[in-house]
Amino acid sequence: MVGKMLTPHERRSLRNGLFFVAPWFIGLGVFLLYPIGASFYYSLCEYSVLQPAEFIGWGNYLDLFTDEVFWKALYNTLYYAALALPLGLAVSLGLAMLLNTGVRGMTVYRTIFFLPSLVPMVALAVLWLWIFNGQYGVLNYVLSWFGLQGPGWLSDPAWAKPALVLISLWGVGHAVVIYLAGLQDVPQHLYEAAELDGATWWHKVRHVTLPLISPIILFNLIMAIIGTFQYFTVPYVMSPQGQPARSTYFFAMYLYDNAFLYLRMGYACALAWILFLLILALTLVALRLSTRFVHYEGG
């Protein structure tokens, strides 16, 4: 009841409970809430890290509209996302469906497809630098077997972003594992019933598999949106400053350069909030569309 006096035992229990949850509240405030609030405040300031912050209101955000490099980085990121997101979802789902079959030695195949996702990003970038080398690269050498002249993958602005999209398909192992877990939970009797009704392989995939794993597809889509718009390590190692012609200069790279290279921390904070709002908007759109396409068991 409201206003009821606590007994000594209840006060002791409350004190002990607050004592045990205090580290979590302190960690939440120090490592999450304070950085979020500070970043928003600094986004409204002219702040170079070396000097005290000077409040300028919405100046940093207004400067974005006339910043050609900002628009270039945003375009590159959206272009990359438009290719990498659907291809990554399709390839990971296709691999998961293949690995979900009863082929002998399937455990070995699953391990092989998952291992690339464990390779550190810097090592991965160095490896693909060698593969995509226009003169001595493995990929162009293989293409020459078929009489094809491979392009300068990382030296041609027209091919640089598609090359990075191909690299992104290398690390779909995590999504494949999640899809596999969902595919193994699909009741087999539904496939058997569909076969009795004369359903083809495609009909079973479309009307049984996809609806039942649609929540997992949504989860992988949202995680892919977050990861894609924060794409940084591989392009930063493979093409410093987004060369050639800033064709691989992504949003996260521009944010990093402003913060730690140009020491424009206030401007970088504004970029970070724009990135957050962009990811949030796309996530909300995905969740909105999910009400039509995602089916929950028992729902």
Residue 195, amino acid: E
Q: Is the dihedral of CA 159, 161, 164, 165 positive or negative?
A: negative
- Reply yes or no on whether the pLDDT at 224 is more than 90: yes
Rounded mean pLDDT, 199-214: 91
Q: Which residues contact 121 (CB under 8 A, 6 or more apart)?
A: 233, 234, 237
Of 78, 45, 51, which is closest to residue 63 (Cα–Cα)? 45
The tokens for 228 are: 């894609």
Residue 88: how many other CB atoms lie within 10 Å: 22
Q: Is the pLDDT of residue 3 over 70?
A: no
- On average, the pLDDT of the chain sits at 91
Provide mean pLDDT across the span 245-272: 95
Q: Tokens for 117?
A: 């996702």
What residues contact 182, with CB distance under 8 A and at least 6 apart? 212, 213, 215, 216
Name 54's Cβ contacts closer than 8 Å, sequence gap at least 6: 45, 46, 47
Between CA 244 and CA 165 the distance in angstroms is: 16
CA distance 66 to 39: 22
**Helix, strand, coil abundance in the chain, percent, nearest 5:** 75, 0, 25
The DSSP output letter for 240 is: G
Residue 265: count other Cβ atoms within 10 Å of its Cβ.
21
DSSP 8-state code for residue 101:
S
Rounded Cα distance, 280 and 141, in Å: 42
β-partners of residue 54 are 46
Q: What distance in Å separates the CA atoms of residue 265 and residue 60, rounded to the nearest whole number?
A: 10
Is 248 a residue whose pLDDT tops 70?
Answer: yes
pLDDT at 294: 87
CA 264 and chain centroid, separation: 26
Per DSSP, the three-state class of 102 is coil
**What was the pLDDT predicted at 1?**
45
- CA-closest candidate to residue 251, choices 93, 36, 77, 100: 77
Closest CA to 203 of 59, 211, 130: 211
Domains recognised in the chain with CATH numbers: 8-43 (no CATH), 61-293 (1.10.3720.10)
Which residue type does 276 have? F
For the stretch 23-74, pLDDT in tens is: 999 999 999 999 999 999 999 999 998 889 999 999 999 999 999 999 999 9
List b or e across 191-223, with b for residues whose CB sees 16 or more CB atoms inside 10 angstroms: eeebeeeebeeeebeeebbebbbbbbbbbbbbe
pLDDT recorded at residue 243:
85
Task: Tell whether the model's pLDDT for residue 229 goes beyond 90.
Answer: yes
pLDDT by residue (tens digit) across 129-156? 999 988 888 999 999 999 888 888 988 9
pLDDT at residue 134, rounded to an integer: 83
* pLDDT band of 76, cuts 50, 70, 90: very high
